[in-house]
Structure formats: C-alpha cells, structure tokens
C-alpha cells in the first residue's frame, strides 16, 4: 500500500475514514471514485474525497471494491460540492448528494438491458421452407428478422409475429438466432420526433450581443476566466435564439453546454425548441427535471457522463451535470426564485452556475427580462458584463398597460372582473383573439369567515387560513396539504352564516363563465394539471384556438408563446406586495412584467389590464412604463439604506419545534451563543416568531443575520450549532442568501 484514500461514507452523518488503495487499483482510484469499504463487520459505499501518500490513521484497512474504472464524479464537481458545503453551511455529504443523484449512488440500479435478437448465420430459402412445415411460427420470425435487416427487440418480434418468447429461444438453440441483452437508453422524449430547424438570421441588436458572447466563448480556458455576462432583454427580444447559437458555437469547439431553466418553464415547448435545433446537427440533448423516473434519470446522467449528450437542459440541479469540457453555462430567467433549493443543501442554482463557470474558466450567460437586483447590481459595478436587447424581434411594440384603480371600480362593478377589464375582454373575443387572465392563487375562496363570531377557519397545523376548493368541495391548506370537508356552518359558533371570501383561480373561472357564457374558458393551475399530459393538452388546445380565455396561476406566466393572445388581465396585482419580505416590490415588478410579456406576440399590439388597490405603488408604476432601470435605481437606493442584499448577505436561521416553549427557549439560547461568537461587523437581528408562525404542526422562530463576507460567518454559525445540544424535537435550519422569508 503506497497510497491512501479519504472516503466519505454514504448516509453516515458525514463520517470520513482513510483506507489503503490496493496496488491493483492504484491506477483507477482518484478523487470522485465510488468505492465499497469495510466498516466494522459491514461493507459500505462511499466517495473518495482525497488521495494522499500518507495517513495518520491507525489500523488501516483496504478498499474492497472500486465501483467503476473512471471516477464517478470529476474532481471539479467534488470541489464544487465542498464549496457548497462551506458557503451554505451544510455537511459535505449533503452537498455531494446533489452532485450525484441517488440512482447513480445506488450501485444496484443499472442500465436497462433488453433482449435483442439477430440472425446468426445465413439461412437459405429451402431451409426456411423446411422449418415452415414443422414450425410455421419459427419461420415467421426468421422472415420478419430478415426483412427488418437489423436486430430487433425480442419483445417487439413476439408482438409483431404473435409468438411466445419460447419460439425465439427455440431458434436460438438451433443456432439460427443469437439473443443477447443490450443496453437500451430510456429516453424520456424517445417517442417524439423533432423537426430540425435551423438558425435564424440575427437582427442588429442580437448581432452586437452575440459578438460579445462569442468573445467570451473564445476566451474559454484562458486566464483570467471570462466575466459572466448578464443579458437584459425584454420579453420576446430573441434571447433564446442567442442561447441556441451560443450553444452551437460551443459544440463546434468540441465543448459542452448547460442551460438552466426554471422548473416551471421546462415545458414541452422549450424542450422541443432545443431538441429540434440540435436535431439538425445530430447533437444529443439531455433533459434533467424532477418528473423523470429513476431509470430515466440514471440514463440521462450516463448519457451526459459518457459525452454522448453534450447539451444539458435542466432545472437547478442540472448545474451539477457531469459534463466534461464545459464551454458555457446559461441561466435563463436568472431572477427566478425556483433556482433556490428550499431544502438542504440550500444552494442557488444561478450563483452556482457563476461559480462553476469561474472554476472551469468558461463562459457564463445569465438572461432575463427582469434581472434580479443582485445580478444587475453586479453588472452595474462591472463584475458582470451587461448586454442588452431593448426591442422585440420584428420591432413589435411593448404591450400597452392600463392600470385599473380597484378602490373605485370594485364598488361600481365586480371585484373580480372590473368593467374596464370586461369591456376589453369583449372587444378581443369579438375579434376572435385570445385572452389570458392571471391570478397567483389556486382554489375558489381564500378565506372562510364567520360573520357572527369572527371565526376564521385556519389550518390546525399552520397559521394560515384554509382555502375552499369548490369542485372538490373541500377546504385545503396550501402549506401542509391538510384536507377537510367544507363546513356549512361556523365551526366556532355553529352559525350557518359562514362566509366564503377572497378569490382564487376557480372563482375567476366561474365568474368569467358567467360573464361570457359563449366563450370557451379553461383553467390551468396545479389543481387541474396534476397529470403531466393535461398540461400539454391544454396548451395545445389553446395554441390551436380551441380555448378563448385561459385562467391560470404562475404556471401560465412564463415562457409561453401564443401569437393570438392580445389581452392579458392581471386580476389582483397587489397579492404579493404587502408581505413582510424585502423583495416584495421586486417580485411584484418582475411578475407584472413577465405576465405582461405574454400579450401581443403576433402582428397585433398587445394590451394588459392590471387591477390594483394600490395603483400608485412604484412596482406597479414602473412596470406599467416598462422601466426596469427606473425601478432598479429606486429599489437599490432603498436596499443600500437598509443594508439589505445585494449590499449584505442575508442569513436566516429558522428554529422549529412542535413544542412552542421549547422552540422559544432554544432560539433564545442559540441567539445568545451567536451574539458571543459573531464579530462586531456582522449584524445579528433580534430573535422573533416567524411571520408564518406555525407550519406543519411546528412553531417557528427566526434569527436574521446580515454579513458582508459569508464563508467565515457560515463556519462560525456551524460551530455554534455543533456545540449546542438542542432538545430532540427542536431543529435549526440555516439558510444562506435566503429567498423564502416567511
């Protein structure tokens, strides 16, 4: 034994041991290798995280098995995981779990093997005739295979010739056929065909932007790494075309590309666009998202790892895709909150994309119509290169946005569909154009209130009120999923006068149907779109004009292109505006701009009607004038004054417990320890009950920390937590660069 491997064991709470590397395996064991090692009487799986010439451990044992000849994870991805662990204050094991999906870790899930039959030797006509006399089925199989001219799946032959597998086995025994298991990739899009499409001629603005992107790609691998680029392009300005051509360039250089998109916009439409483009050049595209089966995920991962697929499209975790020779990482809709993982490790996909690009010295391109304040701030400060697309392709005008003051209108007309909105819908329907109505809340009524005793029907596990879903006749908690039959009288005082108030998409659909009885109305939200095909079906029906009005949640807000949609109505623009969250304005501005971007993508100018009770709020007014810079300047000034991100890192510690007093007490202790440990330049807020005080039966408390440099602070927090023993039913969660503040 001349070398030693440091092995992090799977599912062991982060235990690390040194093992000897057997001479025979010396050449194959490297950082990232998956190995089986002896631990007491058992053999466990683990990952090699370091290799060295010496060890201080005693009683060294040897690695008993190396799971594959090549390291399963590249050394670079291990470094990325280490960075994640240090920055986001979590165990390395948790970070590695993101890098290596569960199905790849589990040694037992292999490639899918299926039996394939082929003709083993020449067969003459006479011979076939002889066989036909005694066994017509066998002859049929031979004839079919000869006609096919290629090997066929045994299952396929069996079906085509209506024979039992034994018939094929019998031919194998005779030496006429050979039957062998072969790896068949499970391609989630295998049954679809993609019409190749070729690149478009770029317009003037696109050409300027693309030249910068090409320059960055040309600098791949050089020192210093190219600056990340932020592409601020209005909706419909042709950002995606830039992504497509940038990826083509990277492929031509023999490199690979990763494109991150928000899970929600990983629609068939998006995937199709990319598959089709690269179908023309015979390049394979791998798709990673949360709806893949284990087998599909396994196969996509190996297609990427082996270099068969050099374009990866996926949700946030695709930032860990095991590509070699990374040429570009693109993050579409970089401002999207779904890039932040809300469970351990709580990383931000966009920030990791920037980091990975830096580590691998390759181009990074972030794109958005409404960049996050963080990214735009970096661009203004010169850390990122700012690229702009200011006009829509073909010079289409930005939609006209009208604000309806609901303080006046709701009294005169309907609080759901005001007169101006109703008139606009009527006008569009008459012209056979299509309408989208947006409300970011599911269900029928959002609150059940007793008019007599004031009782509000809350979830027993969470401090939010239950939402009434009329179609199911249930009240549902949107936090924990608690479900109950809708009450007909007040659960408190038993008065039958219980009122259902507040509006969800179900009620909007209902109202629209009453207002426009002749129109075809469809709703699209998580309640009606539980089947994956339902989503596709509804979108197709909408695209082909079979639906007049589409009512939906944020599911319809992003990334969809429907040229015949000329009117978008935003039912309640104020919904997210008054939450106790320093990003509330930013989110409202982004959402309004994105939703408005769905209007008028064809030849007809689009129109947006925004209903609001606070029509003069800056987020609404800047969105109305399509003025991102104006919004940015006002908002960034406020953030600076308040010491909020991007001027600080915001760390949120949530302590939760089913037992209120124990939770409170532990929070207090933790707060005291942090006060002692953290340096003066770190701002430690007072501890307090979380805005969402109770969730899933747990009481929740918050401690907020603001710091300029985070990695050191992360380690200090970790140390404090490690030394603190908490009661068994109290848990603390550290969220670095937190997005979810409730």
Which of 49, 246, 459, 619 is the binder for Zn ion (CB under 5 A)? 459
User: Is there binding between residue 218 and ligand ADP (CB under 6 A)?
Assistant: no
User: Is there binding between residue 236 and ligand ADP (CB under 6 A)?
Assistant: yes
CA distance 534 to 522: 12
Smallest gap from residue 693 Cβ to Zn ion (A): 12
Smallest gap from residue 561 Cβ to ligand ADP (A): 6
The nearer residue to Zn ion, 457 or 482, going by C-beta atoms, is 482
Smallest gap from residue 577 Cβ to Zn ion (A): 24
Smallest gap from residue 375 Cβ to ligand ADP (A): 16
The nearer residue to ligand ADP, 245 or 503, going by C-beta atoms, is 245
Tokens of 434: 């299509």
CA distance 246 to 363: 10
| Range in contact with ligand ADP (rule: CB under 6 A) among 236-244, 323-331, 336-344, 538-546 | 236-244
Residue 469 and residue 443 in contact, taking contact as beta carbons nearer than 8 Å: yes
User: Is there binding between residue 475 and Zn ion (CB under 5 A)?
Assistant: no
Tokens of 534: 């339902």
**In sequence order, which residues have a C-beta less than 8 Å from that of residue 668 and are 6 or more positions away?**
687
CA distance 92 to 363: 27
Please choose which of Zn ion, ligand ADP, none residue 239 contacts, taking the beta carbon within 5 to 8 angstroms, the exact cut-off set by kind.
ligand ADP
Which of 241, 296, 336, 351 is the binder for ligand ADP (CB under 6 A)? 241
Which of 47, 72, 237, 465 is the binder for ligand ADP (CB under 6 A)? 237
Please choose which of Zn ion, ligand ADP, none residue 237 contacts, taking the beta carbon within 5 to 8 angstroms, the exact cut-off set by kind.
ligand ADP
CA distance 153 to 145: 10
User: Is there binding between residue 248 and ligand ADP (CB under 6 A)?
Assistant: no
What's the residue count for the chain?
742
Exposure string over 439-458, b if 16+ CB within 10 A, otherwise e: bbbbbbbbbbbbeeeebebb
SS (H, E, C) 286-348: EEECCCCCHHHHHHHHHHHHCCCEEEEEECHHHHHCCCCCEEEEEEECCCCHHHECCCCCCCE
Smallest gap from residue 200 Cβ to ligand ADP (A): 4
Angle, alpha carbons 524-526-532 (nearest 5°) = 85
CA distance 40 to 45: 13
Chain positions 646 to 675 lying near ligand ADP, rule: CB under 6 A, are none
Q: What backbone torsions phi and psi does residue 669 show, to the nearest 5 degrees?
A: -65, -45
Please choose which of ligand ADP, Zn ion, none residue 86 contacts, taking the beta carbon within 5 to 8 angstroms, the exact cut-off set by kind.
none
User: Is there binding between residue 393 and ligand ADP (CB under 6 A)?
Assistant: yes
Q: What backbone torsions phi and psi does residue 26 show, to the nearest 5 degrees?
A: -55, -35
Q: Is 535 exposed, middle or buried (0-12, 13-18, 19+ CB in 10 A)?
A: middle
Chain positions 543 to 562 lying near ligand ADP, rule: CB under 6 A, are 561
Which of 154, 462, 608, 690 is the binder for Zn ion (CB under 5 A)? 462
The nearer residue to ligand ADP, 201 or 395, going by C-beta atoms, is 201
Smallest gap from residue 395 Cβ to ligand ADP (A): 11
The nearer residue to ligand ADP, 220 or 594, going by C-beta atoms, is 594
Smallest gap from residue 459 Cβ to Zn ion (A): 3
The nearer residue to Zn ion, 280 or 480, going by C-beta atoms, is 480
How is residue 709 annotated by DSSP?
S
CA distance 450 to 583: 33
Which of 238, 327, 576, 600 is the binder for ligand ADP (CB under 6 A)? 238
Which of 33, 138, 220, 240 is the binder for ligand ADP (CB under 6 A)? 240
Which of 72, 167, 235, 566 is the binder for ligand ADP (CB under 6 A)? 235
Smallest gap from residue 700 Cβ to Zn ion (A): 13
Query: What is the helix (H) or strand (E) element at residue 177, kind and residue range?
Result: strand 177-183
Which of 135, 153, 380, 480 is the binder for Zn ion (CB under 5 A)? 480
CA distance 75 to 48: 10
The nearer residue to Zn ion, 109 or 479, going by C-beta atoms, is 479
Smallest gap from residue 563 Cβ to ligand ADP (A): 8
Please choose which of Zn ion, ligand ADP, none residue 459 contacts, taking the beta carbon within 5 to 8 angstroms, the exact cut-off set by kind.
Zn ion
Please choose which of Zn ion, ligand ADP, none residue 236 contacts, taking the beta carbon within 5 to 8 angstroms, the exact cut-off set by kind.
ligand ADP
In terms of DSSP H, where are the helices of 149-200? 154-160, 165-173
User: Is there binding between residue 466 and Zn ion (CB under 5 A)?
Assistant: no
Closest CA to 329 of 229, 404, 403, 402: 229
CA distance 604 to 564: 8
User: Is there binding between residue 413 and ligand ADP (CB under 6 A)?
Assistant: no
In terms of DSSP H, where are the helices of 51-124? 75-87, 92-99, 102-105
Q: What is the DSSP annotation of 347-402?
A: -BHHHHHHHHHHHTT-EEEEEESS--HHHHHHHHTTSSEEEEE-S-GGGPPPPEEE
Q: What is the DSSP annotation of 627-696?
A: -HHHHHHHHHHHHHHHT-TTSSEEEEEEEEESSHHHHHHHHHHHHHHHHHHS-TTSEEPPPEEEEEEEET
Chain positions 172 to 201 lying near ligand ADP, rule: CB under 6 A, are 200-201
| Range in contact with Zn ion (rule: CB under 5 A) among 44-52, 264-272, 471-479, 507-515 | 471-479
User: Is there binding between residue 203 and ligand ADP (CB under 6 A)?
Assistant: yes
| Range in contact with Zn ion (rule: CB under 5 A) among 79-87, 328-336, 474-482, 713-721 | 474-482
Name the β-bridge partners of 607.
400, 567
The nearer residue to ligand ADP, 368 or 611, going by C-beta atoms, is 368
Angle, alpha carbons 15-19-24 (nearest 5°) = 145
| Range in contact with ligand ADP (rule: CB under 6 A) among 234-242, 481-489, 538-546, 550-558 | 234-242
Binding mask 560-599 for ligand ADP (x = CB under 6 A): -x--------------------------------------
How is residue 26 annotated by DSSP?
T
Please choose which of Zn ion, ligand ADP, none residue 393 contacts, taking the beta carbon within 5 to 8 angstroms, the exact cut-off set by kind.
ligand ADP
Name the β-bridge partners of 260.
314, 331
Q: Which residues bind ligand ADP (CB under 6 A)?
A: 200-203, 206, 233, 235-241, 393, 561
Residue ranges binding Zn ion (CB under 5 A)? 459, 461-462, 477, 479-480, 482
């Amino acid at each position: 034994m001349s070398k030693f491997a440091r092995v992090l064991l799977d599912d062991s709470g982060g235990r690390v041991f040194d093992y000897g590397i057997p001479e025979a395996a010396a050449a194959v064991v490297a950082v990232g290798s998956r190995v089986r090692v002896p631990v007491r009487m058992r053999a466990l799986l683990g990952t090699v995280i370091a290799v060295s010439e010496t060890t201080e451990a005693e009683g060294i044992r040897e690695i008993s098995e190396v799971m594959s000849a090549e390291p399963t994870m590249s050394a670079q991805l291990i470094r990325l995981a280490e960075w994640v662990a240090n920055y986001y204050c979590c165990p390395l094991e948790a970070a590695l779990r993101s890098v290596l999906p569960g199905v790849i870790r589990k040694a037992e899930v292999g490639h899918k093997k299926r039996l394939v039959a082929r003709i083993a030797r020449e067969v003459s006509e006479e011979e076939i005739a002889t066989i036909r006399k005694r066994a017509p089925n066998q002859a049929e199989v031979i004839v079919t295979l000869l006609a096919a001219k290629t090997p066929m799946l045994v299952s396929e032959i069996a079906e085509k010739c209506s024979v039992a597998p034994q018939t094929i086995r019998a031919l194998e025994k005779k030496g006429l056929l050979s039957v062998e298991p072969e790896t068949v990739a499970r391609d989630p899009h295998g049954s679809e065909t993609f019409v190749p499409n070729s690149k478009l001629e770029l317009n003037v603005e696109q050409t300027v932007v693309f030249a910068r992107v090409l320059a960055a790609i040309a600098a791949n691998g050089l020192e210093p790494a190219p600056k990340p680029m932020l592409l601020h392009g209005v909706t419909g300005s042709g950002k995606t075309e830039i992504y497509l051509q940038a990826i083509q360039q990277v492929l031509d250089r023999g490199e690979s590309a990763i494109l991150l998109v928000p899970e929600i916009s990983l629609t068939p439409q998006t995937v199709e666009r990319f598959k089709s483009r690269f179908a023309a050049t015979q390049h394979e595209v791998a798709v990673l998202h949360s709806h893949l089966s284990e087998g599909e995920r396994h196969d996509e991962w190996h297609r990427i790892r082996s270099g068969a697929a050099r374009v990866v499209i996926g949700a946030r975790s695709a930032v860990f895709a095991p590509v070699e020779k990374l040429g570009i990482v693109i993050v579409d809709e970089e401002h999207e909150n779904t890039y932040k993982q809300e469970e351990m490790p709580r990383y931000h996909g966009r920030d990791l994309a920037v980091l990975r690009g830096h580590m691998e010295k390759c181009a990074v391109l972030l794109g958005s119509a409404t960049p996050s304040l963080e990214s735009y701030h970096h661009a203004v400060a010169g850390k990122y290169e700012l690229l702009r697309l200011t006009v829509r392709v073909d010079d289409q005008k930005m939609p006209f946005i009208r604000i309806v003051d609901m303080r006046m209108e709701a009294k005169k007309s309907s609080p759901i569909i005001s007169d101006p909105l109703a008139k606009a819908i009527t006008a569009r329907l008459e012209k056979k154009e299509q309408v989208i109505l947006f409300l970011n809340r599911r269900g029928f009524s959002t609150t059940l209130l007793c008019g007599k005793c004031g009782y509000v029907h809350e979830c027993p596990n969470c401090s939010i009120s239950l939402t009434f879903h009329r179609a199911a006749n249930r009240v549902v908690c949107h936090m924990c999923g608690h479900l109950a039959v809708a009450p007909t009288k007040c659960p408190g005082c038993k008065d039958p006068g219980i009122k259902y108030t507040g509006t969800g998409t179900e009620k909007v659909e209902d109202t629209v149907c009453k207002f426009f009885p002749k129109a075809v109305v469809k709703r699209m939200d998580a309640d009606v779109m539980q089947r994956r095909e339902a989503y596709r079906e509804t979108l197709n029906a909408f695209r082909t004009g079979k639906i007049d009005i589409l009512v939906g949640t944020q599911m319809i807000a992003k990334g969809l292109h429907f040229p015949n949609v000329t009117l978008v109505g935003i039912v309640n623009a104020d919904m997210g505006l008054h939450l106790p969250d320093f990003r509330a304005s930013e989110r409202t501005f982004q959402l309004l701009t994105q939703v408005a971007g769905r209007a008028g993508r064809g030849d007809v100018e689009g129109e947006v009607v925004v209903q609001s009770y606070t029509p003069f709020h800056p987020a609404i007014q800047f969105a109305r004038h399509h003025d991102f810079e104006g919004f940015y300047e006002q908002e960034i000034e406020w953030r600076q004054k308040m010491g909020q991100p991007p001027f600080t890192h915001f760390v949120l510690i949530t302590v939760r417990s089913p037992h209120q007093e124990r939770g409170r007490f532990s929070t207090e202790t933790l707060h005291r320890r942090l006060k002692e440990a953290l340096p003066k330049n770190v701002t430690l807020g007072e501890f307090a009950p979380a805005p969402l005080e109770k969730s899933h039966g747990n009481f929740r408390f918050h401690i907020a920390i603001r710091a300029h440099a985070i990695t050191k602070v992360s380690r200090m927090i970790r140390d404090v937590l490690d030394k603190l023993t908490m009661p068994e039913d109290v848990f603390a969660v550290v969220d670095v660069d937190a997005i979810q503040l409730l």
